[in-house]
Amino acid sequence: MLAPGSTIGILGGGQLGRMLAMSAAQLGYRCHIYAPEGDNVAADVAARYTCAPWHDGDALAAFARDCDVITYEFENVPVGPLAGLPQDKLAPGIRALEVAQDRVREKRFMLEAGGTPADFVAVDHDSELADAVERIGVPGILKTRRDGYDGKGQWPINDRADAQGVRIPETGCVYEARLTFECEFSVILVRGRDGEVRFWDSTRNLHKDGILAHCELPAPAIVAEQSARARDMARKVADALGYVGVLTLEFFATSRGPVFNEMAPRVHNSGHWTIEGAVTSQFENHIRAICGLPLGDTASVSRTMVMDNLIGADALDLAGHLSDGRAHVHLYGKSEARTGRKMGHVTRIG
């Protein structure tokens, strides 16, 4: 067990790191943020902050020496530089990043674990796209293998003409079938160092322009019907990775059961409601897990809950959001309210 007063290193300076650092402080830990130059809002609530590139080996080594355990707040931290860190300090480990950073590898890993992704095929060159469309059919969606998030790096292929003239990036793409589904939902779990796994309730997730906009409990009945199978898939993935911390898998609820969409080896936007809506939040349980502490109860405190992301200028009306006495408002301290940028969230319980 990591004693209070120890230092937790967090790779990444965004809002997830910010909320992790706040939960860590509640339990008596200090946090050291490492992130490249940018709007690093996690540094505002941390004891120390190193601003340096990911590939600065000396800066990373000094950061690691100051930390008793190291975690990450987003899945696109480059794996190469992390190989030089003490691996016994890193939780979750590098393997989870290696899987999650490549959509093709992620889907193949899910198949090996007994999961069900949508039909897909890797597309590494321009000449392979037409064949992929023939094999999978239309409509479909073309996604970059790497670095896609919040709807970025995705192109709908509604008919074969849409595939003509498309240039495949050097890192490659994956073409997958577009599904008919009733709703989207997440399975969020926490796995301790002893292998114990606990799950939060699954919300119905609604997206707008590729960005998560709204989560709600209770989810439709089909989610309750399919959550046990989805949880079983998620547990197998966590066990196969030897995972420590919070892990999120996103699913489509379809007529043939839960279909895997993607994995996030971290705390997740669809779990922000757990700060007020669960006995123990995803952020606190992630800190508990990586520090070797007993896991907290993940039960929901109410049968009904909604969480809305505050995107772009929507976040600026703080007084308006707080005029609802049930509203729990979280603003992330970002300096510029750009279109499509997550600036905060608001949760309403009951």
Binding-site residues, in ranges, read 103, 143, 148-154, 176-179, 184, 207, 261-262
Whether the CB-CB separation of 283 and 231 falls below 8 Å is answered with no
Strand, helix or coil at 319? helix
Nearest to 67 by CA among 160, 2, 17, 111: 2
Let me know the angle formed at the C-alpha of 298 by 292 and 303, rounded to the nearest 5 degrees.
170
The phi and psi torsions of 319 (rounded to 5 degrees) equal -60, -40
Region label for 232, one of left (φ > 0), alpha (ψ between -120 and 50) or beta (otherwise): alpha
The span from the CA of 181 to the CA of 306, in Å, is 21
Whether the CB-CB separation of 243 and 75 falls below 8 Å is answered with no
Residue type, 348: R
Neighbours of 301 (CB within 10 A): 13
**Bind-site residues for ATP:** 103, 143, 148-154, 176-179, 184, 207, 261-262
